[in-house]
Homo-oligomer: A and B are copies of this chain.
Amino acid sequence: MNNHATVNEILVRLFANILDIEEKCLKVGEFSDLSISEMHVIENIGYSDERTMSDTAKTLKVTSGTLTTAVDNLIKKGYVERRRSAEDRRVVKIRLTEKGKAAFKSHEDFHKDLVTSALQQLNSHEEEVLIKVLSDIDVFFNEKYNFV
Is there an interface contact between A3 and B131, defined as CB atoms closer than 8 Å?
A: yes
Is there an interface contact between B136 and A121, defined as CB atoms closer than 8 Å?
A: yes
Stretch at the interface among A12-20, A73-81, A93-101: A12-20
Q: State the CA gap A10–B111 with chains docked (Å).
A: 12
B residues less than 8 Å from A66 (CB atoms):
none
How far apart are A61's CB and chain B's nearest CB, in angstroms? Answer: 6
B residues less than 8 Å from A122 (CB atoms):
133, 136
Which residues of chain A (115-136) have a CB below 8 Å from chain B?
A: 115-119, 121-122, 125-127, 129-136
Task: Check: A105 CB closer than 8 A to any chain B CB.
Answer: no
Task: Check: A88 CB closer than 8 A to any chain B CB.
Answer: no
Which residues of chain A (24-38) have a CB below 8 Å from chain B?
A: 24-25
Is there an interface contact between B134 and A11, defined as CB atoms closer than 8 Å?
A: yes
A130 and B131 contact, Cβ closer than 8 Å, known pairs A17-B138, A21-B148, A115-B11: no
Task: Check: A89 CB closer than 8 A to any chain B CB.
Answer: no
Is there an interface contact between A15 and B18, defined as CB atoms closer than 8 Å?
A: yes
Is there an interface contact between A131 and B7, defined as CB atoms closer than 8 Å?
A: yes
Is there an interface contact between B7 and A119, defined as CB atoms closer than 8 Å?
A: yes
Mark A35-70 against chain B: 1 for CB-CB distance below 8 A, else 0.
Answer: 000000001000000000000000001000000000
